[in-house]
Homo-oligomer: A and B are copies of this chain.
Amino acid sequence: MKVWSYDDVAKHASRDDCYVVLYDKVYDVTDFLSDHPGGTQIILKYAGKDATSVFDPVHPPGTIEKHLPKEKHLGTVDTNTVPESLRKEREEQQREEQQRRENLPPLEQCLNLEDFRLVARQVMTPMAWAYYSSAADDLETYHENRAVFRRIWFRPRVLRNVRYVDPSTSILGHPSALPVYITATALGRLGHPDGEKNLTRAAARTGLIQMIPTLSSCSFEEIVNERTEAGKPTQFFQLYVNSDRNIVREMLRKAEAADIQALFITVDAPQLGRREQDMRMHFDDAGSSVQSSSGDEVSRDEGAARAISSFIDPGLDWDDAMWIKNQVRMPVLLKGVQCWEDALKAYDMGFAGCVLSNHGGRQLDFSRSGIEVLEEVVYELRKRGKAPGPSFQLFVDGGITRGTDVLKAIALGATAVGVGRPFIYAFSAYGADGVVRAVQILRDEIEMNMRLIGAPTLRDLVPEMVDVSALHNRGTTRGELPETNVLNPTGERKSHL
């Protein structure tokens, strides 16, 4: 194949003639420009240039092969022709990366999950931080997800023998060391080169179950194969349903072949949410080269979140969900149920359970917290002589950072809770070791608090042990929006979330 010089590639830098360099190879993306789910503009910014550094963390291996016809693969680039400016830019990036890592505290100084968030905020690239930490609109639901746990208090029992406490449980028939699973989160390689594989390793080392995301930035195969190396943790799969049902069928086939044990259909994201912090970061990144568009056209080029949204079918309905359920032998659950009516419907239609979730506050702002919905679902099910149990399990995710959070959900009827961002923060800073430590902290907190509540096993955690009288009393604040979520018209950007 032809060997290109960087200078020659640079001649193809327009909308009508657009080459890019990726991993030292040259591609003609002219025809692909308007099909790019992430928008045309971000590619045009790198027209005629090396785009590897921004392409790599958000595209799983095989992406180029899948989307760009063979004839657009034009050859390799001669690395000796790297222009001075690119070399300097790379050095600059390395220096920044190194600087961020210099102050990384020793792992054992992280004493709680919030610590990992603070460390990650220092260590991650601004773009990665913006993607992970951002949430919908004014972050009301994002903050509520944590605040709601502060409205649930304990009614502990004393003088029970708690010498031995056992926090292990069974999730959909699979043993789990804790009533906690690693939930699906997208684009893991934004935070760490090993991406979601860190989670697989940590799952194996701690006895937790991992839910693999559709939008991983490691490929599905990589994550599944990591399992063998790491020690066979149980894996579930989170499914975004593509409009093309053949693609869905293929995904399901692969999942069953790979010994995936349960399928979670995401139902709260017919369209991916607007996360303005993420969008603002993108503007920063695009910089002054973005030409001012007229007021008539909303820029479609809006951050990492929207770049990955074209693969999701907004027409997905209950019939589709049943169709999927009938395609597989493994249990199928709905992820993102937000009111008791839908949970009851899932129960009646034979789904294996629901994750009561608002997508980490990243979708509909003012959607209530999972645990508030949990209390409502259990109440309404019981009112109808139905109840969560082995054949219909309830899960909660969003905002969980403390062992007490976990125990509150269990006491109210959840089988387990999903933890997402804290584990991302942990591996972004410390790789798999960080996740393992985060899990150990959770276990330590859960065991201690089971002792202090007087519940030696999870079965002993009964609703009477929590006081939910203030559960619905969502706090309201007035005043300014969080500074991170509004435009700073003077130009200087405030520190992140």
- Shortest CB-to-CB span from A487 to chain B, Å, is 4
A147 within 8 A of B: yes
Compute how far the CA of A162 lies from the CA of B316 in the bound complex, rounded to whole angstroms. 8
A163 within 8 A of B: yes
> Which A393-451 residues have a C-beta within 8 angstroms of B?
402, 404, 430, 432-434, 436-437, 440-441, 444-445, 448-449, 451
Interface of A is mostly: loop
- A361 neighbours in B (Cβ, 8 Å): none
User: How many protomers of this protein does the assembly include?
Assistant: 4
A440's contact among B122, B152, B298, B470, by CB below 8 Å, is which? B298
Given contacts A111-B280, A271-B452, A298-B440, A476 and B154 within 8 Å (CB-CB): no
A267 within 8 A of B: yes
A62 within 8 A of B: no
- Shortest CB-to-CB span from A308 to chain B, Å, is 15
A459 within 8 A of B: no
A292 within 8 A of B: yes
Cβ-defined contact, B476 with A430, below 8 A: no
Cβ-defined contact, A479 with B143, below 8 A: yes
Cβ-defined contact, A366 with B276, below 8 A: no
Cβ-defined contact, B108 with A433, below 8 A: no
A444's contact among B280, B298, B432, B470, by CB below 8 Å, is which? B298
> Which A301-347 residues have a C-beta within 8 angstroms of B?
313-318, 320-321, 334, 336-339, 341-342
Question: Can you list the 4 inter-chain pairs with the closest CB atoms, starting with the nearest?
Answer: A295-B433, A163-B315, A364-B452, A115-B487
Instruction: Give 25 pairs: A residue, B residue, CB < 8 Å, sorted on A.
Output: A106-B292, A108-B292, A108-B298, A108-B299, A109-B283, A109-B487, A112-B137, A115-B486, A122-B490, A140-B150, A147-B477, A151-B476, A152-B366, A153-B368, A156-B268, A156-B367, A161-B314, A163-B315, A205-B296, A268-B452, A271-B452, A295-B430, A295-B434, A298-B441, A475-B477
User: B-contacting residues of A (Cβ < 8 Å)?
Assistant: 103-112, 114-115, 118-119, 121-123, 137-138, 140, 143-144, 146-147, 150-163, 205, 267-271, 273-274, 276, 279-280, 283, 290, 292-296, 298-299, 313-318, 320-321, 334, 336-339, 341-342, 363-368, 402, 404, 430, 432-434, 436-437, 440-441, 444-445, 448-449, 451-453, 467, 469-470, 472-479, 481, 486-491
